[in-house]
């Protein structure tokens, strides 16, 4: 079975969410991202020289890195037709669009700096100032649909759901954006997602990883 190298509460949680919602079985190999050490004692650097997640490891020894790529592979394995989007589906490229949006506009452009210990408070505040425009784009898009691609939860929603798991820790509040705030409540209330988040918060404390600033 394919194994996900997973550091609790980090972006690899998006991959876990996608797998759970899509009904795709994965082994989970927990990782302390602070020390780059897997629970089996191995070093993440031996698997991904960049020392980052998400990482999928296949039985043939090959790996996939980058959360966006891992999400695409996971959704391609789903037998749930309301979750999976095939390349021939017109919605496929919309899914790619929103996965890319989450990866570049939210994850790397905002979280990467806000959660970077060496960044000064003034730099972090400037980066937080980027959020309102991105929230406006999402708010407008979600005005007439419950999820990013319409009526059904997708891999793109898994990525955006993860963003909102940590948005409060990053001091980002979408509450003034009516449709986006309703979306946040909707996705974080989904039973599978709620259970994964609770499990990750507990595992994070048990592993003493705690790389995410507390609220």
For the chain, the domains span: 3-81+193-207, 91-190
The stretch 156-173 carries a mean pLDDT of 96
pTM of the model: 0.96
The stretch 149-178 carries a mean pLDDT of 96
CB 156 within 8 A of CB 98: yes
Q: What is the pLDDT of residue 143?
A: 98
Q: Please write down the long-range contacts of 202-211, taking CB distance under 8 Å and 24 or more positions apart.
A: 203/8, 203/30, 204/8, 204/9, 207/8, 207/30, 207/32, 208/32, 208/34, 209/7, 209/8, 209/9, 209/32, 209/33, 209/34, 210/34, 211/7, 211/10, 211/33, 211/34, 211/115
Query: Could you give the dihedral angle defined by the CA atoms of residues 152, 154, 156 and 161, in that order, rounded to the nearest 10 degrees?
Result: 80
* Alpha-helix runs per DSSP H in the chain: 12-22, 67-76, 91-101, 112-114, 121-128, 131-141, 155-166, 178-188, 191-207
Q: Looking at domain 3-81+193-207, what is its CATH homologous superfamily?
A: Glutaredoxin (3.40.30.10)
Average pLDDT over the chain, rounded to an integer: 95
The stretch 160-178 carries a mean pLDDT of 96
The β-bridge partners of 150 are: 147
CB 121 within 8 A of CB 114: no
Q: Does pLDDT of 215 surpass 70?
A: no
Which of the four pLDDT bands, split at 50, 70 and 90, describes residue 168?
Answer: very high
pLDDT one-digit tens code per residue, 75-115: 999 999 999 999 999 999 999 999 999 999 999 999 989 99
What is the architecture of the domain spanning 91-190? Up-down Bundle (1.20)
Q: What is the pLDDT of residue 213?
A: 82
- The CA distance from 149 to 136, in Å, is 17
The stretch 199-207 carries a mean pLDDT of 95
Which of the four pLDDT bands, split at 50, 70 and 90, describes residue 31?
Answer: very high
Least confident range of 73-77, 113-117, 173-177, 181-185:
113-117
pLDDT one-digit tens code per residue, 41-85: 999 999 999 999 999 999 999 999 999 999 999 999 999 999 999
């Amino acid at each position: 079975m394919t194994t996900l190298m997973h550091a609790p509460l980090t972006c690899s949680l998006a991959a876990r969410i996608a797998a759970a919602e899509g009904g795709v079985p994965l082994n989970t190999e927990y990782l302390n991202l602070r020390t780059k050490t897997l629970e089996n004692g191995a070093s993440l650097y031996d698997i991904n020289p960049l020392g980052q997640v998400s990482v999928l490891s296949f039985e043939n020894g090959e790996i996939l890195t980058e959360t966006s790529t891992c999400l695409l592979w996971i959704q391609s394995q789903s037998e749930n037709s309301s979750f999976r989007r095939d390349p021939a589906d017109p919605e496929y490229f919309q899914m790619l669009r929103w996965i890319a949006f989450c990866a570049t506009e939210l994850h790397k452009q905002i979280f990467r700096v806000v959660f970077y210990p060496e960044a000064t408070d003034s730099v972090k505040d400037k980066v937080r100032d980027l959020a309102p425009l991105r929230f406006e784009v999402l708010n407008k898009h979600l005005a007439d649909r419950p999820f990013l691609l319409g009526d059904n939860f997708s891999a793109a929603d898994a990525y955006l759901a993860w963003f909102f798991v940590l948005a409060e820790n990053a001091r980002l509040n979408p509450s003034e954006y009516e449709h986006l705030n309703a979306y946040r409540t909707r996705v974080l209330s989904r039973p599978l997602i709620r259970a994964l988040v609770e499990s990750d918060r507990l595992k994070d404390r048990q592993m003493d990883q705690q790389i995410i600033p507390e609220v």
